[in-house]
Amino acid sequence: MKRRITYIQRSDAGFDPEQAVVTPKSLTIRNLVAAREDRLTFELNDLSSELRDLLHKSKDVHVRWATEESFDAVPPFASRVSPGLHVLHTPLDADQSSETFCSWLGAAFGRNENEEALDCSQHENTFIESPHRTTDSHAATSLQYHTQLPSLKPFISNIKRAICGPHTTESAQCIAVADSLSTADVVDVDYDGTSNTLVLSGFWANGPTGGWSEEIHKPTQKSDKVEFGLLGAEPGIGADEVKVGGLLAVVGEDKKLKPTMFSFPSRHHVLPQSASYAISFSEPTGLHPTMSITIPRSSLNRPSAPDDTTCSLHTYLTLPSSIFGDQYQLGTSDSLFLQSHNLAGLRAHSGETDLEAPDWAVKGWGSNWLFELATPTDDDLASQSSNWTSTIPLHLRYLHPSDTGYRPVHVPWPVVFWACSSEYEEESIGINPFDRTHLGYDSLFSPRTFFYQLHPQSEHLVEKLDAPVLNLGDGQGFFQTHNIELGTSIVISLGFFWVLWQLARVAWSSGLGANNTAQQVEVHDKKD
């Protein structure tokens, strides 16, 4: 097992050399105020046999989890995803059964916010296909899953059993890291079938009260390694670079912390705190809520990206099955519609988009939507000071009845970012030791695209909507269950009697007609 611990201090944070002390067998940290990433790398032999068998059937697995509470992204850990659990899975064989993977997913992450087991049966039923760029027609098809997941407690217990068990050489160290994930802001799990390694990492934007304090011991096995870094980050010489400097050490090998400074190209960058956005829904939401994305005009200036890039503002929505967009309405090229909503266009979407299906008939977990947002002209930016708002019309599905006449629908905040793509589309960015990929939206842009993340302005990043449903309660409203049942019975009965009456009229009319015909024939015979 290899472990990498990285602390990122802000420029205004003080540091005393006594806060990081190195001995031949350990490294001690005291009251260190910093952001932190803890990263564990495992060979397959370090894992339980059950997890090894599961991973052998996969090309790759990427799990991304983000807290529902707001946190500050700090360079070089600047990327963001919507709150909740995101899973990207590429099976080794596209035709193989996915029941095993779904069973593991349900066991690993336990229950969702409604205390229900994660809804995962088979990929073809629950997962949706990830969208690709139009130039990636031969790319391997990844399957995607998302659910609201406020807590990682069941996952932490599973880590201790499947990853940190007695088969792991540094079991105690692994368990300590697993326990600490309960307070993390971001947790990632990555399996690469090419390298046959599993990487588990957690990120904390802020430490505990009083700062980080811990003692990191030398590994007991020579094959294991613990790397430590105490760094500060700032913009590099190039517009696409991040420069870091500070102190490094390998625990148990180095006798003192070694100074270092290096720079690297970064895919994700942090904008100033003033570059923010807010999400809201018009009231009352009804069955056709409209999502509003409000951005201060000061956030609409082009970021300081490389000169050879073209920048545009985007948002990436992750919607549960209970709420969806109309792909025909949102995918229009009608300039009047787009201008009325301050949208430049729908750039990609995937998942459940059936316009008529109720929520209980939808098999997939939901849908993803990538929009390019329109931005005001330079003259508008200079002349107006009000916020800029883009709106996205959405639709609620019919949900199961309730005793109150409403059911909650939880909508995670989308991410909003500037995407700056180079004209040299297929040129890679370069090696970044802190790079983070497989976020859902990054694969929809060329490899040489830089992302500049706006900051969400809210303490809680999940919106709760009250969806109107059939009322099963005994309230005073007219549309109560017993009223509807009574009304339905009356209408059916009236309809039944009306049909009988019409049949009787036809039969009576037919009888009279037959009698008249017979009488006419008789009269005619007499005349003859």
For 369-389, the pLDDT digits (tens) are 999 999 987 766 666 668 899
Indicate if 376 and 456 belong to the same structural domain.
Answer: yes
Burial 171-189 (b: 16+ CB within 10 A, else e): bebbbebbebbeebbbbbb
Q: Are strands 26-32 and 366-373 parallel, antiparallel or unpaired?
A: unpaired
More confident position, 312 or 431: 312
**Count of the separate structural domains present in the chain:** 3
How far is residue 142's CA from residue 89's CA, in Å, rounded to a whole number?
6
Q: Domain boundary at 425, 450, 468, which?
A: 468
Indicate if 237 and 303 belong to the same structural domain.
Answer: no
Residue 262's identity, in one-letter code, is F
How far is residue 419's CA from residue 452's CA, in Å, rounded to a whole number?
7
Q: What is the pLDDT of residue 10?
A: 86
Indicate if 286 and 343 belong to the same structural domain.
Answer: yes
Of the candidates 143, 147, 173, 132, the residue with the CA atom closest to the CA atom of residue 61: 143
How far is residue 22's CA from residue 33's CA, in Å, rounded to a whole number?
18
Indicate if 386 and 371 belong to the same structural domain.
Answer: yes
Model confidence at 223, pLDDT cuts 50, 70, 90, reads confident
Q: What percent of the residues of the chain are helix, what percent strand, and what percent coil, each to the nearest 5?
A: 25, 35, 40
Indicate if 308 and 343 belong to the same structural domain.
Answer: yes
41-61 pLDDT, tens digit per residue, is 998 888 888 888 888 888 999
Indicate if 437 and 348 belong to the same structural domain.
Answer: yes
Q: What is the pLDDT of residue 426?
A: 61
Indicate if 52 and 161 belong to the same structural domain.
Answer: yes
Q: What is the pLDDT of residue 479?
A: 52
* Cβ 83 vs Cβ 70: under 8 Å: no
How many whole angstroms from its chain centre is CA 523? 88
How far is residue 269's CA from residue 450's CA, in Å, rounded to a whole number?
8
- The token pair that represents 395 in the structure block: 């639709």
352-374 pLDDT, tens digit per residue, is 888 889 998 888 899 999 999 99
DSSP 467-482: EE--B-S--SSSSBHH
Tell me whether residue 520 is in a domain.
no
Indicate if 449 and 304 belong to the same structural domain.
Answer: yes
Q: Domain boundary at 184, 201, 218, which?
A: 201
Residue 455's identity, in one-letter code, is H
Tell me whether residue 493 is in a domain.
no
Kind and range of the H or E element at 17?
none
Residue 167, pLDDT > 80, answer no
Range of the domain at 24: 1-34+207-266
Indicate if 289 and 407 belong to the same structural domain.
Answer: yes
Q: Domain boundary at 416, 449, 468, which?
A: 468
| HSE-CB for 491 with a 13 A CA cutoff | 6
How far is residue 240's CA from residue 220's CA, in Å, rounded to a whole number?
40
Model confidence at 137, pLDDT cuts 50, 70, 90, reads very low
How far is residue 496's CA from residue 500's CA, in Å, rounded to a whole number?
6
Model confidence at 511, pLDDT cuts 50, 70, 90, reads low
How far is residue 11's CA from residue 497's CA, in Å, rounded to a whole number?
83
> Percent of the chain, pLDDT > 70?
85
How far is residue 375's CA from residue 300's CA, in Å, rounded to a whole number?
7
Indicate if 385 and 318 belong to the same structural domain.
Answer: yes
Q: What is the pLDDT of residue 173?
A: 81
Q: What is the DSSP letter of 120?
A: -
Indicate if 319 and 348 belong to the same structural domain.
Answer: yes
Indicate if 362 and 253 belong to the same structural domain.
Answer: no
- Which of 108-112, 177-181, 383-387, 439-443 shows the lowest mean pLDDT across its residues? 108-112
How far is residue 155's CA from residue 159's CA, in Å, rounded to a whole number?
6
